[in-house]
C-alpha cells in the first residue's frame, strides 16, 4: 500500500469575515504548499477545525482541497465524529470525491474504554470508505482516550480490512517506535508533533503530519536533509528554530496565531471558530514583531 512520506500539511480551513468557509482561498494555499515541498494534505483534522464545522462544511472543504490538489499530492480526509454514522458518511463522501486516504479520531464525549470497543468504533467508520487506506488518528490529549495503541494495532490489523496505520499525535517516542516496528513494519505510523520531528526521524519516522508545515515547510525540509546526511548538529539547529517558533506562537491561541502567520505570508485564512479565539489586530502586530525578533521573518 501507498505510505505517507515526507511532510504532510495539516491544512487550515479558510473562513471569511462572516465566519463562513471561504473555499476560494483553498487553491492558492494548496499551490503554495506543494511548491514549498509538502508531500500531502491532511484535511479537517485538529488544525482544520474539523470538529468545529458542520458535516456539510467538512464535505465542502474536503472537496475543495481534493480539487485544488488535483492529484499532485495525496489528500487524507479526517472524518472522526462523535456520531459514528456521521463519521461513516464523511468517509463515504471522501471516497466519492476521490480523496486518497481517510483518517479518524475516536468518539471523545463518551470515552472509548477498551481496545475491543475502539475496534468496533473504528471499523464502523473505516467501512464507509472500503477502497481507501484508513489511519486511526491517535490524539489522546484531545480525545481523552489513551488506550494502548500497540495492542490496538495488534488486534485491529486483522479486523479492519483497510487499516494501514496510525496518525500518532502523542509524545511517547518509545511507543511510536514500537508501533513502527510491529510485525516487521507492517503499519504506516505517521508522526504528529512538529517540535519533536528530529527525535521521530531518529526513531524511524518516514512521514509526519503537522500544522507548522503550512508556514515553515522549507525549515523542516532542511532538518530532514541534514538528518539524512548525518549532520546532526545542523539538524538540531533547525529543530531548535522550530521549537522557538512554536513557543512564540503559543504566546497566543495557537491555531488563530498560525492563521495570522499565513495571512502575513499572503494567504488570508481569516480567524477561527469559537471556542478558539481569533487574534485582534494588535495581537497580530505583536506576533509579527515576536517572530521577527527570533529571525522567523
> Pick from 193, 198, 217, 284: which binds ligand NAY (CB under 6 A)?
193
The minimum distance between CB 258 and ligand NAY, in angstroms, equals 8
192 contributes a contact to ligand NAY by CB under 6 A: yes
Residue numbers 217-246 binding ligand NAY by CB under 6 A: 246
Nearest Cα residue to 212 out of 184, 230, 192, 186: 192
Tell me, what DSSP letter sits at residue 25? G
- Burial per residue of 126-151, b for 16 or more beta-carbon CB atoms within 10 angstroms, e otherwise: bebbeebbbbbbbbeeebebebebee
User: DSSP character for 36?
Assistant: T
Buried b or exposed e, range 251-277, using 16+ CB within 10 angstroms: ebbbbbbbbbbbbeeebbbbbbbeeee
φ/ψ of 173, rounded to 5, equals: -60, -35
What is the C-alpha to C-alpha distance for residues 259 and 141, in angstroms, rounded to an integer? 22
Whichever of 100 and 194 has its CB closer to ligand NAY, that residue is 194
The reply on whether position 194 binds ligand NAY by CB under 6 A is yes
Q: Binding ligand NAY by CB under 6 A: which of 212, 214, 221, 239?
A: 212
Catalytic residue (choose from 42, 65, 135, 137)? 137
Under rule CB under 6 A, which residues in 48-107 are in contact with ligand NAY?
A: none
Q: Which of the 8 DSSP states describes residue 172? A: -
Residue closer to ligand NAY by CB (options 111, 159) is 111
- Closest to ligand NAY by CB, 223 vs 281, is 223
- Site size for ligand NAY, by CB under 6 A? 15
Q: DSSP state, 20?
A: S
* By CB under 6 A, residue 195 contacts ligand NAY: yes
CA 217, 219, 225, 228: dihedral to nearest 10 degrees?
-100
Of 281, 260, 248, give the one whose Cα is nearest residue 215.
260
Residue 210 touches ligand NAY, criterion: CB under 6 A: yes
Judged by CB, which is closer to ligand NAY: 140, or 154?
Answer: 140
167 belongs to the catalytic site? yes
Residues 255-274 that bind ligand NAY (CB under 6 A): none
Residue 161, by phi and psi: left (phi above 0), alpha (psi -120 to 50) or beta?
alpha
Taking CB atoms, the residue at the shortest distance from ligand NAY is: 45
Minimum distance between the CB of residue 137 and ligand NAY, rounded to whole angstroms?
7
Active site residue 172: no
45-53, 176-184, 260-268, 289-297 -> range binding ligand NAY (CB under 6 A):
45-53
Answer for which of 23, 162, 169, 221 binds ligand NAY (CB under 6 A) is 169
213-228 and 232-249 are packed helices; what angle lies between their axes, rounded to 10 degrees?
A: 160
The cell numbers describing 43, all together, are 484535511
Residues known to be catalytic: 137, 167
Per CB under 6 A, residues contacting ligand NAY are: 10, 45-47, 139, 169, 192-195, 209-212, 246
Amino acid at each position: 500500500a501507498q505510505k505517507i512520506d515526507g511532510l504532510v500539511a495539516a491544512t487550515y480551513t479558510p473562513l471569511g469575515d462572516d465566519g463562513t468557509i471561504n473555499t476560494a482561498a483553498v487553491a492558492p494555499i494548496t499551490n503554495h504548499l506543494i511548491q514549498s515541498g509538502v508531500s500531502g494534505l491532511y484535511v479537517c483534522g485538529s488544525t482544520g477545525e474539523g470538529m468545529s464545522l458542520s458535516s456539510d462544511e467538512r464535505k465542502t472543504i474536503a472537496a475543495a482541497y481534493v480539487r485544488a490538489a488535483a492529484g499532485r499530492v495525496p489528500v487524507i480526509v479526517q472524518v472522526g465524529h462523535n456520531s459514528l454514522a456521521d463519521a461513516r458518511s464523511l468517509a463515504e463522501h471522501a471516497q466519492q470525491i476521490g480523496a486518497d486516504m481517510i483518517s479518524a479520531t475516536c468518539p471523545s464525549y463518551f470515552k472509548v474504554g477498551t481496545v475491543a470497543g475502539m475496534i468496533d468504533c473504528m471499523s464502523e467508520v473505516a467501512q464507509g470508505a472500503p477502497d481507501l487506506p484508513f489511519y486511526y488518528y491517535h490524539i489522546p490529549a484531545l480525545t481523552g482516550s489513551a488506550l494502548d495503541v500497540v495492542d490496538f494495532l495488534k488486534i485491529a490489523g486483522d479486523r479492519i480490512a483497510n487499516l494501514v496505520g496510525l496518525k500518532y499525535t502523542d509524545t511517547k517516542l518509545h511507543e511510536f517506535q514500537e508501533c513502527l516496528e510491529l510485525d516487521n513494519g507492517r503499519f504506516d505510523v505517521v508522526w504528529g508533533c512538529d517540535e519533536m520531528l528530529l527525535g521521530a526521524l531518529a526513531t524511524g519516522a518516514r512521514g509526519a503530519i503537522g500544522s507548522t508545515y503550512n508556514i515553515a515547510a522549507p525549515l523542516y525540509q532542511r532538518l530532514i536533509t541534514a538528518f539524512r546526511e548525518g549532520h546532526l548538529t545542523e539538524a538540531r539547529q533547525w529543530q531548535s528554530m522550530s521549537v522557538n517558533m512554536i513557543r512564540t506562537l503559543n504566546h497566543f491561541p495557537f491555531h488563530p496565531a498560525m492563521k495570522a502567520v499565513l495571512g502575513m505570508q499572503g494567504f488570508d485564512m481569516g480567524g477561527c471558530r469559537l471556542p478558539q479565539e481569533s487574534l485582534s489586530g494588535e495581537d497580530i502586530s505583536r506576533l509579527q514583531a515576536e517572530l521577527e525578533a527570533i529571525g522567523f521573518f
